[in-house]
């Protein structure tokens, strides 16, 4: 990937995508405000699941109408259905609720990208419905190899 491509993707990750996500989430909840109480109860129940169990409930589906990230409350209302951004966000939320620091990383090739959640100690990666153990001493290499060398950049 060229430096220009990396800069463009960083702008999309940190600027345009969060704005579009905010708009999509707000519109989603505009006519569903009466459901928030029930969804919050479902979120509480979800906290009690193991990360592997929770991620097994996640169903991947490609975004429609542009790439956006659902809020956790939106994802729960959508029956844990979303794309890789949503899976990574769900995993990060679960880790935070259990006192584990994690971050969302974006993997890219020249043609496509993928989002994962990795714990700060670099021992665990969540990618869609899978929870993968990593060796903290070579986690970047292991992570890229896990995807068969498909991605070359981590942002």
pLDDT (tens digit per residue) in 84-108: 999 999 999 999 999 999 999 999 9
User: Which two three-digit tokens encode residue 126?
Assistant: 């969540």
pTM confidence score: 0.92
Domains of the chain: 3-154 (3.10.620)
What distance, in Å, lies between the first and last C-alpha atoms of the chain? Answer: 12
What does the alpha-carbon distance between residue 112 and residue 35 come to, in Å, rounded to a whole number? 35
1 pLDDT exceeds 80? no
38 pLDDT exceeds 90? yes
| pLDDT range class, residue 66, cuts 50, 70, 90 | confident
- Mean pLDDT over residues 120-126, rounded? 98
The tokens 């070359």 sit on which residue?
A: 152
CA neighbor of 71 nearest in space, from 53, 90, 57, 55: 90
- Mean pLDDT over residues 55-72, rounded? 92
- Mean pLDDT over residues 98-124, rounded? 96
- Mean pLDDT over residues 119-142, rounded? 97
| pLDDT range class, residue 3, cuts 50, 70, 90 | confident
- How much is the pLDDT for 77? 96
- How much is the pLDDT for 46? 93
User: Which two three-digit tokens encode residue 111?
Assistant: 């043609």
């Amino acid at each position: 990937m060229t430096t220009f491509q990396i800069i463009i993707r960083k702008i999309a990750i940190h600027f345009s995508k969060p704005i579009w996500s905010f708009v999509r989430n707000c519109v989603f909840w505009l006519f569903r405000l009466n459901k928030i109480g029930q969804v919050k109860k479902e979120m509480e129940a979800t906290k009690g699941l193991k990360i592997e169990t929770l991620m097994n409930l996640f169903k991947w589906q490609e975004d429609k109408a542009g790439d956006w990230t659902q809020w956790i409350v939106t994802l729960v209302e959508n029956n844990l259905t979303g794309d890789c951004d949503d899976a990574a966000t769900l995993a990060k939320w679960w880790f935070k609720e259990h006192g584990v620091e994690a971050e969302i990383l974006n993997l890219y090739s020249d043609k496509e990208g993928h989002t994962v959640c990795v714990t700060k100690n670099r021992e665990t990666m969540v990618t869609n419905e899978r929870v993968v153990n990593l060796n903290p001493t070579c986690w970047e290499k292991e992570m890229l190899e896990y995807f068969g060398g498909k991605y070359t950049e981590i942002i």
